[in-house]
A and B are shown apart, each in its own frame.
Chain A
Amino acid sequence: GESVGLHLPTLSVQEGDNSIINCAYSNSASDYFIWYKQESGKGPQFIIDIRSNMDKRQGQRVTVLLNKTVKHLSLQIAATQPGDSAVYFCAESLGFQKLVFGTGTRLLVSP
């Protein structure tokens, strides 16, 4: 399930399930969006990106969906594995290369 409070929103799933992590971005003018994975004590790791002229992009086990009408971005992870456990951030690009990060969602995968 998903919980929101004083801590990061958390999504708990079972190994093998599909995970969907959502993000609301702030600027309707943003033209580039990225999902990052961050493990504890490490820097963000690039997962997948999408430009505003697309509404869907697929990678290996991951899919990003973009809904510009409601300024919503989602990351779908297929067949989630324990190694996917981390905090996931969306980021939007305001102007050339400057990134604004979302608040993050913690994904917990149980074996």
Chain B
Amino acid sequence: GAVVSQHPSRVICKSGTSVKIECRSLDFQATTMFWYRQFPKKSLMLMATSNEGSKATYEQGVEKDKFLINHASLTLSTLTVTSAHPEDSSFYICSAATGEGGNEQFFGPGTRLTVL
């Protein structure tokens, strides 16, 4: 149980285009989903926290107009990287939490974004 999927697993796009990444909780309802970014050989950095049906809360330094987050249902959150540039190339990882006691987050497999 507690499986989180991400789609696509990897994407290559041209500079200036927008890319949408989906995060789904497959066998549970996630009241909260988190989006992280990870550069090579670095740790995970939290970008934003999203609760179903409300606006995402972004961490300091993360541009909300560049990284659009939509948490439309209890099983789906999307991250759209708008007008992507090469410096946006990174590994994007989502996690989901049930909110039912405890603090455990279940992580997706990640999406490798390469912007040319």
Report which A residues bind B (CB closer than 8 A).
7-8, 32, 34, 36, 41-46, 49, 89, 93, 96-104
Report which B residues bind A (CB closer than 8 A).
4, 6, 32, 34, 41-46, 49, 91, 93, 95, 97, 99, 103-110, 112
Query: Do the beta carbons of B44 and A89 come within 8 Å of each other?
Result: yes
Query: Do the beta carbons of B97 and A97 come within 8 Å of each other?
Result: yes
B49 to chain A, nearest CB (A): 7
Can you offer 14 A-B residue contacts whose CB atoms are under 8 A?
A34-B104, A41-B91, A41-B112, A43-B4, A43-B107, A44-B44, A96-B103, A97-B34, A98-B34, A99-B46, A99-B105, A100-B46, A102-B43, A104-B42
- List the A side residues contacting B110 at CB < 8 Å: 41-43
- List the A side residues contacting B106 at CB < 8 Å: 46
The 10 closest A-B pairs by CB, nearest first: A43-B107, A101-B43, A101-B44, A32-B103, A43-B110, A44-B107, A43-B109, A93-B103, A97-B103, A43-B93
Give Cα A89–Cα B42 distance, bound, in whole angstroms.
10
B116 to chain A, nearest CB (A): 20
- List the B side residues contacting A49 at CB < 8 Å: 103-104
B83 to chain A, nearest CB (A): 26
- List the A side residues contacting B46 at CB < 8 Å: 98-100
